[in-house]
A and B are shown apart, each in its own frame.
Chain A
Amino acid sequence: MDAVPISWYLMLSAFMFAMGVTGVVIRRNPIVIFMCIELMLNAANLAFLAFARQQAQLGVQVAGQVFVILVMAVAAAEVAIGLGIIVAIYRLRDTINVDEMNLLKF
């Protein structure tokens, strides 16, 4: 009945994850970096759901879906805090370019 095999989902998930990683590494705008992180999280969610669906067909529990909801909640919290930090940094330094935030070095 279901014609889409699990490998397709996983490939899409991997592609999204790789895009997210690339974005995090090369972009300088923290807002965009955040969006890329969202992308990675959602890639993970997609993988979760794909597996969960397959497991459901095997007649097992629905833990995958629960994890997804958990990840979404955590991501929302993270974004809320992260945006708060970004706003605070902007107020302090009039920029949010991450390349100028290198105070962590020696």
Chain B
Amino acid sequence: MNSVFDLIWVVIALPLAGFLFHAFFGKRVGKKADGTVGTAVVLGAFALSVYLLLELLRLPAEERQVVSTLWRWIEAGTFRVSFEALVDPLSLLMALIVTGVGGLIHLYSTGYMAEDEDYPRFFTYMNLFIVFMLTLVLSNNLLMMFVGWEGVGLCSYLLIGFWYRDKVNTDSANKAFIVNRIGDWGFMLAVILSFWTFGTLSFAGEENMFQKAIEMKQAGMLAPGVIAAIALLLFVGATGKSAQFPLYMWLPDAMAGPTPVSALIHAATMVTAGVVMVTRCHVFYELAPTAMLVVAVIGVFTAIFAATIAIAQTDIKRVLAYSTVSQLGYMFLGCGVGAFASGMFHVTTHAFFKALLFLGSGSVILAMHHEQDMRRMGGLAKYLPITYWTMLAGWLAIAGIPPLAGFFSKDEILASAFGTHALPVSMGQILWAVGLVTALLTAFYMTRLMGLTFWGEPRWATAHTAHHGKDDAHGHHGEPSESPPSMTIPLMILAVLSVVGGFVGGFAPLHIPNRFEAFLEPSAGLKVLGEEALGHLPVSIEWILVGASVAAAVLGIWFGWARYRAGLPENERELAGVRKVLYNQYYYDWLMVKGIGLWLGGKIAHWMWQFVDVRLIDGLVNGIAGFTGWTGNRLRRVQTGYVRNYAFTILIGAIVLLIWFLVRGASAGLTR
């Protein structure tokens, strides 16, 4: 407890102090102080994280895992869990994203939420979210990670339902919470199973479960089923939090929350927790090839599945939400083929450009007086120049146009999938092909979003008059206006990051070393499979792959440009046919919620109530009580109230005892 890395607790304590400040004094100090404190504590934590990163980089690579223990938390028998932080490249990277992007979003929120009466409450939740997110990414054991995991779930719930006066919003919050419970169930079982198998839950330090897993594997004491079960249960947790198929459907509904929340929680930080957790536990996945295959397949399936849905959405934020689901699928594809560092690289770049796109859409929504339907937008480029140009950067970045950030990370994942040796090679190539199609779709729907929002003729003139009145202070009647600087400055910073953020990743075809991967090596480097599992492609193939992904991006943009550069095509005014199916996400949500959730779940719940609760449990409880009562009724007849009877009973007892002693004494005498 005396190294510089103990400052890591201050990183968590700062937003915690902010949370307490808002919770207790928020309403008294006024909006200005609230926003300032809320943003300052997060940016302060960011500055401290940068300092710690520099300190960490001064250590030799193999020592870049420092554990800082705060106190011993649970101690029962051999089970010990401490409240301790792990300072290593992975946790610091995430801390930087959470506090950096988070700080910008806080700054943005001071503008976006300026008119909201519940301003202090908003910053209370946002700061609390940062606290829990940092707990999640900095923890050194699965249990403390679970604390953060549940904490961010709570904040997500609170913020989705932030505008609680609309029942739709609270319903969405409930949906997010309930769907996540399914994932958390998997996580919890994985925690229990890990402790049962390894006797420890730590990630690093003297006794860590990964080391133990490898040792047990070498000693042949590790049943393959157990490690696969742990990996898959952890992945169930990840599918919930990171909105993967089949548990993705809460994320699009989560857009009911304020836009900064969508940007911070549902695009940049919390939803990537699943990827972080899988990367953190990558040793388990390396030991269980089946689990890796499942992760990769679910990832790529979610990627293309969500991308097709995104094509037909009309709500600007829902396009971005499905896009997030799709991009998270890419990250899991990276993890599933063994390229954990590439997955984290995409987490990083995605945090930049998706936060940017969400904040940009928030700026659009504010200018449009809370109109979110892209069919009633169009031609906004002229009115919102800063928003337009920054979103342009985000659009090209997510579409995968070189040399923007999204290109590098996406290409790296696709190349890793193509060349992986962690899975059967042909499998990797199928995954790559699906990923490539997804890249095309991504470029297409993002171009559609840009086209419908910013290009063509304005379609909002009529819509506006019908919708004005809610936030009139934001713009003059008739003409939407650019957002205040508190909102555009974060946009600009994120735009710059989206443009240049990819360069840290290096570029294999040109033999530029991947510094990002090298940096993450201590946390995300393969420990069981070995580096050769990633495969090494000849430069010629690398170039072909790069060409293919650029072609996919350009083709997607070209399709989108051809169709949407002039605004809304006639046949999209009303959705029909395939578009309607896609718009309704293949009716999956309807099937899961109305069908399986409400109908089948209702049946099961009814059966549980009627049979298990009423008959089994109530029967057991009442049965025991009935039996006791019945026996008592019989036995009470012994109580006559006549003292003589009692005395007589005692006499009989005494005689019986006497006989017993005599017989025993006699038999003892005989045996002696």
Contact = CB atoms under 8 A, between A and B. Distances in A.
B628 to A, nearest CB: 16
22 contacts: A21-B651, A24-B644, A24-B647, A25-B644, A25-B647, A25-B648, A26-B644, A98-B642, A98-B644, A101-B643, A102-B640, A102-B641, A102-B642, A103-B641, A104-B639, A104-B641, A104-B643, A105-B639, A105-B640, A105-B641, A106-B636, A106-B639
A94 interface: no
A103 B642 CA distance: 8
Q: Which 10 A-B pairs have the closest CB atoms?
A: A102-B641, A105-B641, A106-B636, A104-B641, A105-B639, A25-B648, A106-B639, A105-B640, A24-B647, A25-B644
Interface string A16-41: 00000100111000000000000000
A98 B640 CA distance: 12
A2 interface: no
Contacts, number: 27
A99 B642 contact: yes
Contacts of A105: 639-641
B448 to A, nearest CB: 85
A98 B643 contact: yes
Interface of B is mostly: helix
Interface string B644-671: 1001100100000000000000000000
Interface in A61-103: 98-99, 101-103
Contacts of A26: 644
Given A25-B651, A98-B644, 12 more contacts: A21-B651, A24-B647, A25-B648, A98-B642, A102-B640, A103-B641, A104-B639, A104-B643, A105-B639, A105-B640, A106-B637, A106-B639
A105 B642 CA distance: 8
Interface residues of B, number: 11
A21 B650 CA distance: 11
Interface of A: 21, 24-26, 98-99, 101-106
Contacts of A101: 641, 643
A102 B636 CA distance: 14
B29 to A, nearest CB: 70
A25 B648 CA distance: 6
A34 to B, nearest CB: 12
Contacts of B648: 25
Which of B641, B647, B651 counts the most chain A CB atoms within 10 A?
Answer: B641
Contacts of B651: 21, 25
Contacts of B644: 24-26, 98
Interface in B103-139: none
Contacts of B637: 106
Contacts of A24: 644, 647
Nearest to A106: B636
Nearest to B633: A106
A106 B642 CA distance: 11
A103 B648 CA distance: 18
A100 B639 CA distance: 15
